[in-house]
Chains A and B, each alone.
Chain A
Amino acid sequence: MTEAVSKPFFEDLEVGMRLPTVELGPMDRFDYIPIALILRDTNPLHLDRVYAQERGLPDVVQQGPLNQAYLYRYFTAWLHDPWDLVATKMRFAANVFPGDVLECGGEILELVEESDGGGLVNCAVWQRNQDGQTILKGEAKGRVPGR
């Protein structure tokens, strides 16, 4: 399977190309404190290990928007400019816990050429943990320039 290099040009892309995978982590529980402050969400499920374990979870749960942010960063870093992002659609499939290592990947689903020589690229994107379990999956669309 051909890999679509980062900062690609539209002419070099083909449907079915894989985006380079990126590994992140291990996830750090101390990152959940600033994220809780940003989200104004002090739910102990994200901050208190004993509370989470009393509810049958192995540890505190990483906040969902943080998982999303890592997948956004993965895709937008592949574009020439992060704000060439056009649209996203994502669904949560599983929780992330401290110590998890996440892998982000993608595949080109659709290419639509525009009049300036560049075009829109729509990709399947996903995030998995070290056990291969899907955390997030969806699509991301961005604008890519022509040469």
Chain B
Amino acid sequence: MDVDRTILIGRSLRSATYTVTEVDVNDFLGVVDEPEFVAFSNDSGLGDATATATEAARLAPPSFAPFVAVLGLLKTFDWQEDFLFDYRTGTAMFGEQSIQFHRPLRVGESVAITASISDVYEKQGKSRFDVIEVAFEITGGGEGDRLMSGQQSYILFK
């Protein structure tokens, strides 16, 4: 018998944090070459104060944003508990992702992710599947400091 996941609509997911580390961004830039964003090292020979100021000002490229959204959101839910889905035996994939950008993402900053299930509906393609839409907001350290907001859908095959 199919699970009725529409009962999940409106469910608040757990809050999570993610730190945009220098290591992750440097590894990313080693793959996705972004000429306007250079890899940074604390071994650059700069004085401590200069290095700290440079680090504080350094931005991650917007192309890193999908990684932050995916990683952050995966921390906000449990497949079984929140989506009523057995990840060991079922098949799931990412659906549509939409993001609004409110300010640039800085290397080194910790961001907070809040999310809730905004909609659940069934679709029929080659097979039947449920679409779970999760609305999210990613904020920085200060109050009202919005970085990104948007929606991510997950496709759960039946």
Query: Could you tell me which A residues sit within 8 Å of B by CB distance?
Result: 31, 34-35, 37-40, 64-66, 68-70, 72-73, 76-77, 82-83, 85-92, 138
Total CB contacts across the A-B interface at under 8 A: 83
Known: A69-B66, A69-B67, A72-B63. A89 touches B97 (CB 8 A): yes
Most buried by B among A34, A38, A87, A90: A38
**Does B71 lie at the interface of the complex (its beta carbon under 8 Å from any beta carbon of A)?**
yes
Knowing that A69-B64, A72-B66, A73-B63 touch, tell me 20 more A-B residue pairs with CB under 8 angstroms: A34-B28, A39-B67, A40-B71, A64-B94, A65-B67, A65-B70, A66-B31, A70-B32, A72-B62, A72-B65, A73-B34, A77-B35, A83-B104, A86-B100, A87-B99, A88-B98, A88-B99, A89-B97, A90-B98, A92-B94
Report the interface size for chain B: residues with CB under 8 A from the other chain.
Answer: 30
Asked if B81 is at the interface of the complex by the 8 Å CB criterion, the answer is no
Does B61 lie within 8 Å of A92, measured CB to CB?
no
The B interface, classified by DSSP as helix, strand, loop or mixed, is: mixed
Q: How far is the CA of A31 from the CA of B93 in the complex (A)?
A: 21
Which parts of B30-63 form the interface with A (CB within 8 Å)? 30-32, 34-37, 59, 61-63
A-B contact pairs, 14 of them (CB 8 A): A39-B71, A66-B32, A69-B32, A69-B64, A76-B61, A76-B63, A77-B35, A86-B100, A86-B101, A89-B97, A90-B96, A90-B97, A91-B97, A92-B94
A37 and B34 contacting across the interface, CB-CB below 8 Å:
no
Q: How many Å from the CB of A75 to the closest CB on chain B?
A: 9
Q: Give min CB distance, A46 to chain B, whole Å.
A: 13
Contact flags B116-157 to A (C-beta < 8 A → 1, else 0) = 000000000000000000000000000000000000000000
B26 closest partner in A (C-beta): A34
In whole Å, how far is B144's beta carbon from the nearest beta carbon of chain A?
Answer: 19
Q: Say if the beta carbon of B109 comes within 8 Å of chain A.
A: no
Min CB distance A126 to B, Å, is: 14
- State whether B32 touches A38 (Cβ < 8 A): no
What is B's interface to A at a CB cutoff of 8 Å? Answer: 24, 27-28, 30-32, 34-37, 59, 61-67, 70-71, 93-101, 104
CA–CA, A135 to B24, complex, Å? Answer: 25
Residues of B within 8 A of A70 (CB): 32, 63
**Are A85 and B62 in contact, with the CB atoms below 8 A?**
yes
A104 CB, nearest partner CB in chain B, Å: 12
How distant is the Cα of A10 from the Cα of B138 in the complex, in angstroms?
Answer: 30
Q: Say whether A76 contacts B96, CB under 8 Å.
A: no
Q: Smallest distance from the beta carbon of A39 to chain B beta carbons, Å?
A: 6
The smallest beta-carbon distance between A111 and chain B, in angstroms, is: 19
Determine whether the beta carbon of A69 is less than 8 Å from that of B63.
yes
